[in-house]
Amino acid sequence: MEFERDIAGAAPSFPESFVKGYLGTAGHCLNWLLASERKSGGSAAHATPFLGWSRAYPETTGYIIPSLLDLGDRLHDARAEPAARRFGHWLLSIQDDEGYWRGGLYPYSSSSSSSVFNTGQILFGLARLAARDPSGPWIDAAQRGSDWLIGGLDSCGIWTGGHYRGHQPAYYTHVAWPMLEYAAVAGDDKAAMAAGLVLDGVLDRCLANGAIEGWGFDTEKPSFTHTIAYTLQGLLESAKITGHARWRQATLAPMERLRRAGELSGGRLPGSFDLDFRPDKSFECPTGSAQIALCCLRLYEQDGDLRWLNLACKLADRLGGVQTRGISEAQRGAIPGSVPFWGPYMRFRSPNWAAKFTADAMLQLCDALEGLE
């Protein structure tokens, strides 16, 4: 990221230079996300050099909707809200009669089936659209999605099916959170109670060192910071919505470990960690870094500890530095899955959720920096 310097080489002004720089990164993300829209509807899951855009991804199209609305408001970009609404209408058009959305890219493959996680992520978008437009079609669709999720839960907060890899990962906190978002908009107590069951179930998986069992795609391998952050963000945001401190409390030990790792690496947070917090420093996962920045910003908002803000700034600086400046619209403003590009997370691809979380982090960071004045 580049910050303006005056002709005498003076330090950048605070917070103006920084806000301008971070909003610049967010603006590039917005342009890229708008360019990712497919003719048949939805946002392409990722872009790859030479191959261009992939098919649309319902899951991430869902949670890109709130980002588009926020970006449009903050950057005064009139293209964002109509795009968010188009995404919303497209998601309604592919919702199953039972209320769920299927996993994978659209058009769906023959093996695609109902997905807990994807349905949850789409609730983010519908809940936000419903809050903005209460008379629109959003709340009914969100209710059907939420009811389907509630119907699949057992009494311990475990979904009996609809998993990505056959088990219930801890990052389903990131399903509970949008259920709470929906519940707040719709006043749906059943959804709030179900989400609480899921979140309390995850607390049972906390290890003594703060790690949470099952917070990765694969229980046998180190977890990408992306899914670690999903887990932590789900707990933190749910705690914020409900006021239940126990969910926030569970994030403090792992966040402290991640803060240390992020600081010692100067914002180049290692891309994955095992359950003993042993890092894999061979690559960075910018998506996870952006999400961890968001967690830092939430903690900072709650306790005012500038140490969280400091790491968020370093992670944001790094994200600005890895944003692609290519000439094609599929590359310009993209955030790579891994740094280096051949790293193990989304190898050679720039996912739309990396741009989404980066934009979210930049906007929230700007709010925090402006609040320091």
Q: At what angle do helices 16-35 and 306-322 cross, to 10 degrees?
A: 50
Token digits for 199? 């979140």
Which one of residues 128, 144, 268, 349 is an interface residue with other proteins (CB under 8 A)? 268
**Across the strands, what pairs with 360?**
none
Q: Is the dihedral of CA 6, 9, 14, 19 positive or negative?
A: positive
Task: Indicate whether 313 belongs to the interface with other proteins (CB under 8 A).
Answer: yes
Task: List the interface residues with other proteins, window 123-182 (CB under 8 A).
Answer: none
Which one of residues 256, 274, 367, 370 is an interface residue with other proteins (CB under 8 A)? 256
Of the candidates 335, 348, 320, 353, the one whose C-alpha atom is nearest the C-alpha of residue 44 is 353
Supply the minimum distance, in Å, between the C-beta of residue 246 and other proteins.
21
Phi-psi category of residue 10: left, alpha or beta, with phi > 0 → left and psi -120 to 50 → alpha: beta
Task: Indicate whether 15 belongs to the interface with other proteins (CB under 8 A).
Answer: yes
Token digits for 213? 């069992």
Token digits for 83? 């795009």
Task: Indicate whether 363 belongs to the interface with other proteins (CB under 8 A).
Answer: no
Phi-psi category of residue 42: left, alpha or beta, with phi > 0 → left and psi -120 to 50 → alpha: left
Task: Indicate whether 48 belongs to the interface with other proteins (CB under 8 A).
Answer: no
Token digits for 110? 């023959």
Task: Indicate whether 13 belongs to the interface with other proteins (CB under 8 A).
Answer: yes
Supply the minimum distance, in Å, between the C-beta of residue 370 and other proteins.
11
Which one of residues 77, 147, 213, 317 is an interface residue with other proteins (CB under 8 A)? 317
Which one of residues 5, 167, 221, 260 is an interface residue with other proteins (CB under 8 A)? 260
The answer, yes or no, to whether the previous bond of 82 is cis (omega within 30 of 0) is no
Supply the minimum distance, in Å, between the C-beta of residue 262 and other proteins.
9
Task: Indicate whether 372 belongs to the interface with other proteins (CB under 8 A).
Answer: yes
- Cβ atoms < 10 Å from Cβ of 271: 27
As a whole number of Å, the CA-based R_g of the chain is 19
Task: Indicate whether 306 belongs to the interface with other proteins (CB under 8 A).
Answer: yes
Q: Residue 53 carries which side chain, given as an amino acid letter?
A: W
Task: Indicate whether 302 belongs to the interface with other proteins (CB under 8 A).
Answer: no
Stretch that binds other proteins, among 100-108, 140-148, 162-170, 310-318 (CB under 8 A): 310-318
- Closer Cβ to other proteins, 322 or 369, answer by number: 369
Task: Indicate whether 274 belongs to the interface with other proteins (CB under 8 A).
Answer: no
Stretch that binds other proteins, among 44-52, 92-100, 308-316, 352-360 (CB under 8 A): 308-316
Task: Indicate whether 77 belongs to the interface with other proteins (CB under 8 A).
Answer: no
CA–CA separation, 257 vs 5, rounded Å?
Answer: 34
Task: Indicate whether 261 belongs to the interface with other proteins (CB under 8 A).
Answer: no
What are φ and ψ of residue 22, in 5° steps?
A: -70, -40
Of the candidates 63, 75, 80, 29, the one whose C-alpha atom is nearest the C-alpha of residue 329 is 29
∠ CA 97-102-106, rounded to 5°: 110
Which one of residues 132, 205, 307, 332 is an interface residue with other proteins (CB under 8 A)? 307
Task: Indicate whether 369 belongs to the interface with other proteins (CB under 8 A).
Answer: yes
Task: Indicate whether 20 belongs to the interface with other proteins (CB under 8 A).
Answer: no
Residues near other proteins (CB under 8 A): 3, 11-15, 17-18, 256, 260, 263-268, 305-307, 309-311, 313-314, 317, 369, 372
